[in-house]
Structure 1
Amino acid sequence: MPTQPSTSRSATTPAAATGASTATGASAATADVSTVSVDDGRTIAYAEYGDPDGDPVLFFHGTPGSRLLAGLLEPAATEHGVRLVAHDRPGYGRSDPQPDRTVRDAGANAAAVLDAAEIETAGLAGFSGGSAHALATAALHPDRVDRVDVIAGIAPPEFAESTARAPRLLAGMARRAPSVLGSVLRADAWVAERRSPSAAVSRYTSDAVDETVPDDVATVVKADLLEAVARSRSGAVTEFRTTAAEWGIPLETLSKAAIDVRFHHGDVDANAPLADVRRFVAAIPTAELRVLEGADHLRTLTRAGPTALRERTE
């Protein structure tokens, strides 16, 4: 169990977030950061968006990623009366590293954040690589969760027959040469910081979608990427390794505990192929799959995220 949380009122303003042209970009850049200390001495950082008195949802960012990405959903959270809590998983943003963690450990870290925020039960929303950690939290702490929305989520390796070459290379590097991968991530962030936000966005979009990404969305995506690795690359290195191995979570618990699990996935998502997700969903009898036509990785988040928050209060 965590100790009493300490709260910081200082705002995070990464270089990429300065000059944000809309409320969405500004909120992602300036949300106050709170911290909670856990028993092993680590600190976990989190921020809140939307309605402070609303229905709680815990957001799990991607790999790599940070709490800042939840800023994309703040307008919807405010509109629909949702208290959106987003934490930096260990080794990302302002959270201390936990290099020996597994996917299963996500539940204890998430529970510490819920305790610090004085939330007994919450919905979970996991984006991309964060979906593994959201599902682990629900499966291992079913008493704290009433619903999971998996948004553009990845599939466990036993279902990932269509995984693209790049994720496989990153996973292999994380296992065999983690220090090299850390250097690659550092260099990648250096380049991304000096390029326009559209360069960061291109990692999560597909040429098959003829739709311009709004400037404020691109600004948040770039800020999220830079914040993810600004202080440590440990979070990304750890997760590229662990999510490519056996997750070790009891998926049957999701059905036994009657937790509402909904997958939202774009049909042109090149980052997380739909075919893999279909196989994964079939292994969870009570799960529902919603396919978004013409949506890639990022558009699935911007389209399905607000829908998931709206449904919390319907």
Structure 2
Amino acid sequence: MATQVSSPFRDTESSPKTVTTTAGTTLVYETYGSPDGDPLVFFHGMPGSRLLGELLDEHARRQDVQVIAPDRPGFGQSEFPDRFDLSDLSSVLDPLLSAVGADAVGVVGFSAGAPFALAAAATVPERVTGVDLVAGETPPAFVEDRPGIHRVLGFLATRSPRILGAAFRFQATLAGRRSADAIAGTYTAEESPVDVSAEVASVVKADFRESFAETTAGAVADCRRIATPWPVDVTDVHQPVRLWHGTADHLTDVASARALASALPHASLTEFDGHGHLGALLAAREELLATVGE
């Protein structure tokens, strides 16, 4: 049974749900916003979990949107199937949409969740109406200058995955001792125009810790994706794709977002001047939710 987690925004504890993927594994998810609203699937980043969907809850309620936020395979309390990769998104998306009674949805990918959103649109096009990528990770072919930490993570994921998994577990332990502001600060630009409230920082810390609740397999797979070609050609995505990116993002470079946007047939890019990684999500959420269902 999935564990309930207290929310800094809501009076009641969250109530995660489970569904069985076509690979036979358990996928844990949670819904935010309006229970009867237009559906939107939100793929979290890395480290990350379904709990990050909390940052969309208030805006989704106002705009009559139901946000469906799964723990991606190998994160939080979702199991990691054997030999799972981006070409297998139907095994996740089909049962998830059946569980919530949706035929087709918009998908949002934040940070390392962006490959999932793009792969869903490419491999299950009949179930995806549009794609939003917020501070999104891009295929290696579109990255000119990968940050040093990403190069290290990619190297470890391909050469020493056990060592990388142990490092992630150690990070999760340290996160329990660090303040919420300190953890949120690692995703925020130094001169960010967006104020990160105590409530937002609390969600980010809970999200970080929940990321490794059961396994580090999802995080290791994400890091491997940094260094190796994706098994899905994202230029085959013909749904509308909107990219939202901060110009001061030190984790996913805006130049890569520009290159990806130019390669997609129906893409637009909105840049937030001076915003960092988390700031882009906070700045984009109202507008990206406003057009769900249109």
User: Which TM class, normalised by the smaller chain length?
Assistant: over 0.9
What is the CA–CA distance in structure 2 between the aligned matches of 1:170 and 1:267, rounded to whole Å?
23
What is the CA–CA distance in structure 2 between the aligned matches of 1:211 and 1:45, rounded to whole Å?
31
Q: Does the alignment pair 1:96 with 2:79?
A: yes
Residue number in structure 2 paired with 1:290? 270
Q: How does 1:1-314 map to 2 (within 5 A)?
A: 12-13=4-5, 20=8, 22-23=9-10, 30-98=13-81, 100-209=83-192, 211-255=194-238, 259-312=239-292
* 1:206 CA displacement: 1.6
Tell me which amino acid in the other structure corresponds to 1:146: T
Instruction: Please identify runs of 4+ aligned residues in structure 1 that moved more than 3 A.
Output: none
* 1:283 CA displacement: 0.8
Residue number in structure 2 paired with 1:5? none
* 1:207 CA displacement: 1.1
* 1:103 CA displacement: 2.0
What is the CA–CA distance in structure 2 between the aligned matches of 1:287 and 1:160, rounded to whole Å?
18
What is the CA–CA distance in structure 1 between the aligned matches of 2:138 and 2:254, rounded to whole Å?
9
What is the CA–CA distance in structure 1 between the aligned matches of 2:90 and 2:48, rounded to whole Å?
18
5+ residue gaps, structure 1, are 1-7
What is the CA–CA distance in structure 1 between the aligned matches of 2:123 and 2:97, rounded to whole Å?
14
Change (3 A) 1:269 1:57: same
What is the CA–CA distance in structure 2 between the aligned matches of 1:212 and 1:251, rounded to whole Å?
34
The 8 Å contact of residues 64 and 235 in structure 1, kept in 2 or not, is answered as no
What is the CA–CA distance in structure 1 between the aligned matches of 2:193 and 2:116, rounded to whole Å?
31
What is the CA–CA distance in structure 2 between the aligned matches of 1:107 and 1:237, rounded to whole Å?
21
Change (3 A) 1:210 1:80: closer
What is the CA–CA distance in structure 2 between the aligned matches of 1:51 and 1:212, rounded to whole Å?
25
What is the CA–CA distance in structure 1 between the aligned matches of 2:253 and 2:190, rounded to whole Å?
15
5+ residue gaps, structure 2, are none
What is the CA–CA distance in structure 1 between the aligned matches of 2:164 and 2:211, rounded to whole Å?
15
The 8 Å contact of residues 181 and 237 in structure 1, kept in 2 or not, is answered as yes
Identity %: 36
* 1:110 CA displacement: 2.0
* 1:11 CA displacement: 5.4
Tell me which amino acid in the other structure corresponds to 2:262: A
What is the CA–CA distance in structure 1 between the aligned matches of 2:240 and 2:14, rounded to whole Å?
29
Aligned pairs, number: 294
* 1:295 CA displacement: 1.1
